[in-house]
Structure 1
Amino acid sequence: MTAPGAYNGAMSDAITNWIDLYRRAWESNDPDDIRALFTEDASYRTEPFAEPWDGHLEIVEGWLDAQDDPGAATFEWRLLGQDGPQYFVEGVTDYHAGPVYSNLWLVRLAPDGRAEEFTEWWMEQDDDGDE
């Protein structure tokens, strides 16, 4: 796994910046940091078939309802691929006092670098390290 925020090549500049901002919002839980990640009409799905949080109001409310405490987890990621503005990201979220999750993110970025669509899959890893 690439170190958090590590440079993954030319195609990853936009997604690297976006993930850096996502991690800042994850740590701060500041509504302005959260809003800065998404277009006004963005769609955020916490799992592929969940009803999305649509627009800034729902995204901020949903995020804050499920927020983590600052410093509660580490996140490592790598870019799996890109198709135009759509990025495919593999991650690992390690909660210091809890489980470890394998993550898959689909992020569609607008030309200004904010996400228009975000869908995440998260799967708890087995205690013995098997995924």
Structure 2
Amino acid sequence: MSSLDAVTAWVANYRKAWESNDPHDIADLFAEDAAYFTEPFADPWLGRDKIVENWLKVRDAPDSTTFEWHPMLVTEDLAIIEATTKYPDKTYSNLWVLRLDILGQARQFTEWWMQHPSS
């Protein structure tokens, strides 16, 4: 599997977990000792169990968003992804920094998100 294929699969699985909020779908995305940064300078959620626990505290309702993405950079262990997330009343630009392990699970994930000004 190419690096781009691995990133594409991971993002598809992330979106599946985002929609399902199923703890198993969420857990499958992350290595056991992963770090999830919800903002670049925030304290990370450390470890798969903590990631699942915290994800479920801030989850979105299924079918409440649309999501479009494209890779900006993909190497063997690093991907930078640009995306747009639309809610009914707001839109966000996202920049994700994703580091995958050899199994295709995130060992580090950092979100940069910016809300679009209201029109």
Question: Normalized against structure 2, the TM-score is what?
Answer: 0.95
For 2:98 and 2:66, locate their aligned partners in 1 and report how far apart those are by CA, in whole Å.
20
Q: Which amino acid aligns with 2:14?
A: Y
How do 1:44-123 and structure 2 match up within 5 A?
Answer: 44-96=36-88, 98-123=89-114
2:12 equivalent to 1:20: yes
Whether the 8 Å CA contact 2:3–2:75 is kept in 1: the answer is: no
Q: Unaligned regions of 5+ residues in structure 1, if any?
A: 1-9
Q: 1:41 aligns with which of 29, 33, 36?
A: 33
2:23 equivalent to 1:31: yes
Partner of 1:124: 115
For 2:76 and 2:8, locate their aligned partners in 1 and report how far apart those are by CA, in whole Å.
15
Task: Quote the RMSD (CA, aligned, Å).
Answer: 1.0
Identity %: 49
For 2:102 and 2:35, locate their aligned partners in 1 and report how far apart those are by CA, in whole Å.
16
Give 1:12 deviation, angstroms.
1.4
Question: Normalized against structure 1, the TM-score is what?
Answer: 0.87
Cα 1:83/1:11, change in 2 over 3 Å: closer
For 1:60 and 1:11, locate their aligned partners in 2 and report how far apart those are by CA, in whole Å.
25
Aligned length: 118
For 1:126 and 1:51, locate their aligned partners in 2 and report how far apart those are by CA, in whole Å.
27
Question: Once superposed, which parts of structure 1, at least 4 consecutive aligned residues long, lie more than 3 Å away?
Answer: none
Give 1:73 deviation, angstroms.
0.2
Partner deviation per Cα, 1:24-44 (whole Å, 9 max, x = no partner): 000000000000000000000
Q: Which amino acid aligns with 1:54?
A: L
